[in-house]
Homo-oligomer: A and B are copies of this chain.
Amino acid sequence: MTDFTQQLNAIVGESYVLTSKEDLDTYGQDWSRLYSPNPLIVVKPGNTEEVSEIVKLCLQHQVAIVPSGGRTGLSGGAVATNQELVLSLDRLNQITDFNPVDRTVRCGAGVITEQLQNFAEEQGLYYPVDFASAGSSQIGGNIATNAGGIKVLKYGLTRDWVAGLTLVTPSGEVVSMNNGLVKNATGYDLRHLMIGSEGTLGIITEAEMRLTTPPKEPTVMLLAVESLTDISNLLNHFQAQIDLMAFEFFSHAALEKVLAHRELKAPFGDPANYYVLIEFECGDESAMDGAFAAFESAAENGWLVDGVVSQSNQQAEELWQYREGISESISHYPPYKNDIAVKPSQVGEFLEAVDQFVSANYPDFENIWFGHIGDGNLHLNILKPADLPLEDFKAQCAKANPEIFKILQSFNGSISAEHGVGLLKRDYLSFSRSPAEIEMMRAIKNVVDPNNLMNPGKLFQ
């Protein structure tokens, strides 16, 4: 046993230092499944002080650290490919404090998203950040990637719910940022610098998260739409008249995959090119009347060809299935996935431009489009044709990437809407951020983490 391992044992206890091949493989990668895990060792500290000691030890031995949460990331932000120490926050999974007046909860970084959602519900409150991996993803990871999801339109991103956080800096100091205050105009808000920094500036070990009043019963409308322009019209139209919680979109190709995979009945007699799913709170009759009036006038304007409205919670959930089942229905394909964003007003125009590019250059590829387009976020999935060898498919996708990002750049869009940069998008950062911005980011990284031991190689080389 090396001196380094012995010192780790002394900090966390032998049973929390993992070295088996299986553990290294498990903790060395995330859901992106694109990189071969190759960590040095896995350590599972039990509290912030132990994290601090591990960081100091790594600094002394110049060992790089990959902070590890639920490892549900899709951009390779939490993979260890280069003999790093994987610092798992799994054991910091306690909710240690709750204040009903402040409506804040103190969570260890390892608290599962769903655990926080359930805790909030028990208090008669609501934690509104929600997404497919809520059952596995951890609060620390959510903050490090500024996780978004399906309710951003009304509730914003993880960033908007962080009242304070505890960071172990690259030198091992424990820093409490913002202390749960609502108002605090005392210089640079380092908390916001850390949110979305993907573990490259230090390790988040604790956070004070805000809760809010639960929404009223949700109502869901599913609309059948013929053109991309109509989708923009519908967003504008409904947004002006209803307080939207979600405005989701998917193509007919996406619907077909879900229908086949879940053995569901089609929502409409006739297929349409696109579908829009709208969710809103319906507290009383007048709200419902307003929603119906908005639906009627949209139909009169010819922006939709058919529609259905949920009459119960169960129906609302059934309608959501068409949207929520997409990812799962294509998970057995090796898809080329891209999580990108433009301004909501530009979604239609952008979709057309990419569609045109893909049909012209890759006519054999099947595009599955869906996304949270109320906030401009699109998930582009290109499925591997059955007869194309995987390596060839990967090579073609790699060629398509910069072309699609060039289109995105012409729209001032984002190459990563909500999944983060990680290893996957690192080399494309310049399509979304200017040289001056990247230079400023690098300068900050260098000055905060001069030894480059915090998740090196992620975000930038």
Contact = CB atoms under 8 A, between A and B. Distances in A.
A150 to B, nearest CB: 12
A189 B195 contact: yes
Contacts of A456: none
A181 B232 contact: no
A184 interface: yes
Contact of A175 (B177, B425, B434, B447): B434
A184 B425 CA distance: 13
A341 B179 CA distance: 11
A185 B185 CA distance: 25
A34 interface: no
Given A101-B239, A443-B447, A176 B213 contact: no
Contact of A447 (B102, B103, B180, B444): B444
Contacts of A101: 232, 235-236, 239, 343-345
Q: How many copies does the complex hold?
A: 2
A69 interface: no
Interface in A197-220: 197-198, 201, 213
Contact of A441 (B187, B414, B440): B187
A179 B433 CA distance: 10
A426 to B, nearest CB: 10
Interface stretch (A38-46, A306-314, A386-394, A416-424): A416-424
Contact of A188 (B124, B414, B444): B444
Interface string A261-272: 000000000000
Contacts of A198: 187
Interface in A336-366: 341-345
A193 B185 contact: no
B186 A421 contact: yes
Nearest to A435: B173
A196 B189 contact: yes
Contact of A182 (B152, B176, B179, B444): B152
Contacts of A444: 188, 444, 447-448
**Interface SS of chain A:** loop
Contacts of A148: 183, 185
Interface string A129-169: 00000000000000001101000100011011000000001
A437 B177 contact: yes
A412 interface: yes
Given A192-B189, A193-B192, A184 B414 contact: yes
A89 to B, nearest CB: 20
A190 interface: yes
Given A183-B375, A341-B182, A443-B448, A190 B236 contact: no
B434 A243 contact: no
A429 B187 CA distance: 9
28 contacts: A101-B236, A101-B239, A101-B345, A148-B185, A152-B183, A159-B192, A169-B440, A176-B434, A179-B343, A180-B343, A181-B342, A181-B343, A182-B376, A183-B375, A183-B376, A184-B417, A185-B196, A185-B421, A186-B425, A186-B433, A187-B441, A188-B193, A188-B196, A188-B444, A190-B440, A192-B193, A192-B195, A444-B444
Given A101-B236, A444-B444, 5 more contacts: A101-B235, A175-B437, A185-B417, A190-B440, A193-B193
